[in-house]
């Protein structure tokens, strides 16, 4: 009976020590998407300068999505990452492609197709294609970090 009490007491001590060590190590497991604080500069993303009319109309929305992901869109200079955006309109379909490339590696990608008649509610078809591609692109942006 006494032996059981000693073993039980040692198990409680071992369990308590294990939980204490686990509790101390948990804050180290939390990872922020990007470092923050003084002296931190968000990674720059080179934005495309030559776009067709439709892409020019929507590139501001992609700029906002990049900023929400703690990236810094730049329109001049150099950057390791660059954005590729394409909105192609055919007679029936509108295809939107968004791609964030870092030194040849695709970090985030969004693509969507919407269909509709050429003259009736064409703007709505373009919006549908763009916003679906943007949602896919943004979800991948949020999963891509912490960035190596």
Question: pLDDT per residue over 45-91, tens digit each?
Answer: 999 988 888 899 999 999 999 999 999 999 998 899 999 999 999 88
Sheet holding 93-102, edge to edge: 72-74, 44-46, 81-89, 93-102, 105-115
pLDDT at 60: 94
Model confidence over 122-134: pLDDT tens digits?
899 999 999 999 9
Q: What is Dmax (Cα atoms) for the chain? A: 90
Whether 137 has a pLDDT exceeding 60, the answer reads yes
pLDDT at 62: 96
Q: What is the spatial distance between Cα 73 and Cα 46, in angstroms, rounded to a whole number?
A: 6
Detail the DSSP E strand segments found in the chain: 44-46, 72-74, 81-89, 93-102, 105-115
pLDDT at 120: 78
pLDDT bin (cut points 50, 70, 90) of residue 30 is very low
pLDDT at 26: 47
Q: The whole model's pTM is what? A: 0.70
pLDDT at 17: 53
Rounded to 5 degrees, what are φ and ψ at 85?
A: -135, 135
- Contact between 84 and 45 under an 8 Å Cβ cutoff? The reply is no
């Amino acid at each position: 009976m006494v032996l059981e009490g000693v073993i039980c007491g040692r198990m409680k001590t071992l369990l308590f020590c294990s939980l204490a060590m686990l509790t101390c190590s948990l804050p180290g497991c939390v990872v922020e998407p990007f470092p923050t604080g003084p002296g931190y500069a968000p990674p720059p993303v080179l934005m495309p300068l030559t776009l067709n009319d439709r892409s020019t109309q929507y590139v501001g929305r992609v700029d906002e999505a990049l900023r929400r992901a703690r990236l810094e869109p730049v329109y001049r200079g150099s950057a390791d990452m660059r954005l590729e955006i394409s909105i192609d309109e055919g007679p029936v379909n509108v295809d939107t492609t968004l791609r964030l490339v870092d030194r040849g590696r695709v970090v985030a990608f969004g693509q969507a197709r919407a269909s509709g008649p050429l003259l009736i509610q064409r703007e709505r078809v373009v919006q549908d294609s763009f916003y679906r591609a943007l949602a896919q692109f943004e979800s991948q942006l949020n999963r891509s970090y912490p960035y190596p």
